[in-house]
Amino acid sequence: MSFASMARSAGASLFAPGSKGFVRRLQCLLTLALGTVSLPSLANGGEANLVLPNLNDPALATFFGGLTGSTLLSYGLIICVLGLAFGAVIYAQVKKMPVHRSMAEVSELIYETCKTYMLTQGKFLLVLEAFIAAVIVVYFGFVAQNAQGGAGLPASEVALILAFSLVGIAGSYGVAWFGIRINTLANSRTAFASLEGKAFPVYAIPMKSGISIGMLLISTELLIMLCILLFIPESLAGKCFIGFAIGESLGAAALRIAGGIFTKIADIGSDLMKIVFGIKEDDARNPGVIADCVGDNAGDSVGPTADGFETYGVTGVALITFIMLAVPEAAVQVQLLVWIFVMRVMMIIASGASYIGNEIVMKSIYGAKDRFNFEAPLTSLVWVTSIVSLILTFIVSKALIGNIAIAGKVYGDLWWQLSLIITFGTLAGAIIPEVVKVFTSTHSRHVKEVVTASREGGASLNILAGLTAGNFSSFWMGVIIVGLMTGAYLVSQAELAQVINPDHGATMAAVFSFGLVAFGFLGMGPVTIAVDSYGPVTDNAQSVYELSMIEAIPGIEEEVKKDFGVALNFDKAKDLLEENDGAGNTFKATAKPVLIGTAVVGAATMVFSIIFMLTGGLVSDVQKLSMLYPPFLLGLISGGATIFWFSGASMQAVSTGAYRAVEFIKQNMKLDAGATKASLEDSKKVVAICTQYAQKGMFNIFMAVFFGTLACAFVEPFFFIGYLVSLAIIGLYQAVFMANAGGAWDNAKKIVETELRAKGTELHAAAVIGDTVGDPFKDTSSVAMNPIIKFTTLFGLLAVEMGVGMVAHGQQTLTYVMAGACLLVNLYFVYRSFYGMRIEVLEASSDSK
């Protein structure tokens, strides 16, 4: 019995005696209403109805002298397990590193507070999942075509798809939790290692933490996707991929946005105290410092880790979807799918080997030095991994598909052409960080320009110089991405165009090449995640050092010498930690455009898959993909508007939350002669303020995005295509502009503090103010556009198919009614995202209550 049939039976007895609760009845009625009107499925199915080929059929394709695709990919499971073991071993090594109890206590306090935050976010994620689950149930339970050609899958299959959406959320959530655990171990170990005055351990410990996260994240993602591919029936695997991708996309969007709001409320609240009270960085008397440390993990560890997990998965799902829609030959489908997954397995090997080799060489070069440029070994790792990945891509491709034959014809050049296309993306993963450093590094002329402008122009010219850097960076980032995609397009027009589709080979090959560029962006995924995760450890290490108050502990020098054999050098330790934080800031900035670029290029592949479905394989309605078709043009305009609303809504949540945090901290800062530390109760209160506004802001944004996507998908499918295209392109430039402007302001402050040693001056005040402007730019609004773009595209996939199915069966009026209703809800939450979040000055009497 299909899910739809079961639902109709349930509806017949909905108001029978004993039915429970009005709310439950209302939920049932809404589901039945949506489902009943959508019962007729799309005649040709859709993206979520794809059936994967049988990878175990030797008649379709074999590899390495007779291995079927399933057998070959099953070996990939072993590599994934080894990748997980690699991450676990590094974790154990970090945990065993020496640390003084005073620093360990601080890092454990940070972790315990992070745990509270994560548990709160976990409950919140389940609430948001309820909205997604409703759409999944309606679509797959009532609309999707079943094996008999009717509408609605069996309840067991719908439940499996729902389960994989929960697996997606759990994956994003789980790797994010692992990230904060190892980072909060590494921060105190890094702080302690600095006491000896040696530079290399201060670099090596955050790097260990980062590669542990990167290897575990990518191995977990690939393990889940291989399990779906190998162990779920072909008729269900595509649907489970979609459910998994939507779940991880929801998890990443929620954790990225909420984490970004949380961390910048705390950061601004803590930083402004340096100006208000003239206190030092991470002063233990500041109640906002603990919240700032938690925020470093919530925003710079939890968010990026969940984002990276989702990016890797969604890009893969986009390519799988495209292959199944655009490639008619099952034999070609098998060979491309197996090739893509083998490339992914190879990437884990390349990243692990590159890290080990790079660490050996870097230790031989820098191990004995008192000081070195902390960016140098990080840059070396990125380039080494890129080159190793590039070489392995060609070697493995030659071995795997070097003599690929389609319909009896051998295509002897396809292996290197596909490898070259991926290489454009792999190079992007190395070139983009270099371009970003031009605008955000402490050695950048743009960053030094921000400092110079601040000398005479104060905060005003500081901000203008940062905006200039951000604008220039967007231009050059566009040039790089367009150049790489153009190269991929030109290569794709050779044998790939002949193989991929007999009717529209040139177009299909071009779009597939763009997806492979996005795939190549992630070619060194573990290392990209590692250098991004480096930043929150270096940032926290400074805070742990100050909060531990280790310098004031009686007899500390003798104690550390006796217990650890280390002679203390406090001044050098602080200098090393600050310099390393600058490198962390730079490499946090370099990872953001890589993930953002992947979102846009990968979304392009997914959008084309939707186009292919709507046009019946580019046969009908192609003229509607034109500026001359008004709904398409209106969609283009609407997508851009959404990007600017989102930028404002996320910053509004930060500014209001920061106002409340600053207000509380100013009232509770104790600078009396005997005060040495802020009370734990006051610190927890600041954390509570950050959490409150992070969740409030996130809920408004999620609801607006959720109902806005439904409205756009229901109103007209080609309007929705224009909306998605605009969302991706304008989102790319807005995100890069904001991320790099924020990075320039951040490291300009770092130059003032470390190189110029000008803390407490007017120049420092101007740099701090610029940094507080950049905080929500770089760590809230810009970074969250990546999961927002992908979530909208993936979730819209189901919504647009539902809308098309309704219109195809004479229910256009109802579709417009639903679009209008969803738009009203969307506009309500858009309104709330400002007017429900704006700063209101509380009465003194209410403050005291």
What is the C-alpha to C-alpha distance for residues 480 and 27, in angstroms, rounded to an integer? 49
The pLDDT of residue 339 is: 92
Residue 6 has pLDDT above 50, yes or no: no
For the record, the structure tokens of 109 come out as 């306090």
Give the confidence band of 22 by pLDDT, cuts at 50, 70, 90. Answer: very low
Per residue in 386-404, pLDDT (tens digit) is: 999 999 999 999 999 888 8
Which amino acid belongs to residue 828?
Y
Q: Which residue has the higher pLDDT, 36 or 606?
A: 606
Counting residues of the chain whose pLDDT is more than 70, the rounded percentage is 93
Lowest mean pLDDT among 265-274, 547-556, 568-577: 265-274
Lowest mean pLDDT among 278-282, 638-642, 731-735: 278-282
Mean pLDDT calculated for residue range 654-671: 90
Phi, psi of 58 (to 5 degrees): -65, -20
Kindly list the distances between the CA atom of residue 446 and the CA atoms of 241, 407, 466, 750, in Å, as whole numbers in the listed order: 43, 56, 8, 14
Mean pLDDT calculated for residue range 489-496: 93
Task: Please state the three-class secondary structure of 61-73 as a single string.
Answer: CCECCCECHHHHH
The gap between the terminal CA atoms of the chain, to the nearest Å, is 59
Residue 10 has pLDDT above 70, yes or no: no
The pLDDT of residue 82 is: 95
Q: Which residue has the higher pLDDT, 672 or 543?
A: 543
C-alpha torsion 595→601→606→610, nearest 10: 140
Residue 740 has pLDDT above 70, yes or no: yes
The DSSP element (H or E) to which 677 belongs, if any, is none
Going by C-alpha positions, the residue among 13, 8, 10 that lies closest to residue 37 is 8
The pLDDT of residue 673 is: 65
What is the C-alpha to C-alpha distance for residues 588 and 300, in angstroms, rounded to an integer? 8
The pLDDT of residue 1 is: 54
Number of Cβ within a 10 Å radius of residue 89: 12
What is the C-alpha to C-alpha distance for residues 136 and 494, in angstroms, rounded to an integer? 40
Mean pLDDT calculated for residue range 405-432: 88
Indicate the average pLDDT of the chain: 87
Residue 162 has pLDDT above 90, yes or no: yes
Mean pLDDT calculated for residue range 225-243: 92
Q: What is the CA angle 191-174-586, rounded to 5?
A: 45
What is the C-alpha to C-alpha distance for residues 713 and 804, in angstroms, rounded to an integer? 9
Q: What is the CA angle 116-121-125, rounded to 5?
A: 155
What is the C-alpha to C-alpha distance for residues 713 and 407, in angstroms, rounded to an integer? 39
Per residue in 673-689, pLDDT (tens digit) is: 677 888 889 888 999 99
The pLDDT of residue 282 is: 76
| Contacts of 35 by beta carbon, 8 Å cutoff, 6+ apart | 4, 7, 137, 138, 141, 142, 143, 152
3-class state of residue 40 by DSSP = coil
What is the C-alpha to C-alpha distance for residues 125 and 50, in angstroms, rounded to an integer? 28
The pLDDT of residue 843 is: 52
Residue 817 has pLDDT above 70, yes or no: yes
What is the C-alpha to C-alpha distance for residues 86 and 89, in angstroms, rounded to an integer? 5
The pLDDT of residue 150 is: 75
The pLDDT of residue 88 is: 93
> What percentage of the chain's residues is helix, strand, coil (to nearest 5)?
80, 0, 20
Mean pLDDT calculated for residue range 102-114: 93
Mean pLDDT calculated for residue range 258-273: 89
Per residue in 353-399, pLDDT (tens digit) is: 999 999 999 999 999 898 999 999 999 999 999 999 999 999 999 99
What is the C-alpha to C-alpha distance for residues 480 and 474, in angstroms, rounded to an integer? 10
Lowest mean pLDDT among 221-235, 458-472, 794-808: 794-808
What is the C-alpha to C-alpha distance for residues 416 and 401, in angstroms, rounded to an integer? 9
What is the C-alpha to C-alpha distance for residues 556 and 554, in angstroms, rounded to an integer? 5
Q: Which of 57-66, 263-272, 819-828 reaches the highest mean pLDDT?
A: 819-828
3-class state of residue 628 by DSSP = coil
Give the confidence band of 194 by pLDDT, cuts at 50, 70, 90. Answer: very high
Q: 222 near 366, Cβ under 8 Å?
A: no
